[in-house]
Amino acid sequence: MGILRLAHVDVRTPDLDLSAAYYTEVMGLQQVARTDDCVYLKCWDEEDHHSLRMRYNPRTGMDSFTFRVEEEDDLHEFEKKVEAYGCPTTRVSRGGAVGQGESIRFEVPSGQIMELVWDIEKTGNILGKHNPSPVPPPDLPGIAPPRMDHMLVNAEEVAESASFFIDVLGMRMTEQVLDGNGHQLGVWLAGNTRSPHDIAIVNGPNGALHHWAYWLDDWDHIRKAADTLAFNGVQIDQGPTRHGVTRGNTIYFFDPLGIRNEVFTGGYWVDPDTEILTWTEDNFGKGLFYYENVISQRFLRMHT
């Protein structure tokens, strides 16, 4: 039984056309479906039906985030564990959500709505399965990341949230930030992947989304992403720079409705027996932005 990876993020936008234009033309995602009030998008190398759903709503925010589990039977086992922890669950039947089968939804201790699913519609990447090219067509618009990578949410009680993801959902902690009293200010958690994180939790208001991130293959793609963002007049929040935590190279920026995005590359290989890395609050400037060595309160406190 285990959490495999981040499957999709579902958000609200008051301007569906503007958001769709940004994510297809600037970010370079593929629009795979559209209804009267929703747009479904994915990256060029993703196999699943979609990794981002945007729903029209007068108020910007996150509806939910979804992780895929390893086996079909895991849904029932996780349902029992989540209920035993004290979080009520809701079963969503097949057909209740586009691009996937049965799932369970629940509110995590930090207030966000999380979903677990196993059965996801596979529509394939744009390369195909017969003599595929190793690279996408050169005429893809925008940044064109190959896949969504991770997300970060806020929690008023980071330790409580970390305990839920570790003890109930079976994720493992790769890094943490501790204050002078040993209390967790931030944790980075991974499912059954080799990534340094699939989700991170940092101190902030319950229910908030800080960002989600797209993977790029190397530092040169980060540089090109910065060029694309600047050319299109996108507000860059931080970077290009490097994290000490996760060792990743990064740029943070905002979509037209104020949701923070990230492009990310680098990091390190995480084995099952890799020891947890710990940062102290007095050195977290380097952990957050290694080159600048500064704790940006604006960066930490702005959220959706």
Before 205, cis peptide (omega within 30)?
A: no
User: What does the alpha-carbon distance between residue 133 and residue 212 come to, in Å, rounded to a whole number?
Assistant: 28
- Active-site choice (46, 214, 252, 303): 252
Among 8, 49, 50, 243, the one annotated catalytic:
243
Active site (annotated) includes residue 150: yes
Catalytic residue among 197, 210, 221, 303: 197
Residue 252 annotated to the active site: yes
Catalytic, 211? Answer yes
Q: Point out the catalytic residue in the list 150, 210, 221, 303.
A: 150
Choice among 49, 50, 210, 211 that is catalytic: 211
Bridge pairing between strands 30-34 and 38-42:
antiparallel
50: annotated active-site residue: no
What's the start-to-end Cα distance of the chain, in Å? Answer: 32
Pairs from 235-243 (Cβ < 8 Å, separation ≥ 24): 237/299, 237/302, 238/289, 238/296, 238/299, 239/289, 241/289, 241/290, 241/291, 241/292, 242/266, 242/289, 242/290, 242/291, 243/287, 243/288, 243/289, 243/290
Positions marked catalytic: 150, 197, 211, 243, 252, 262
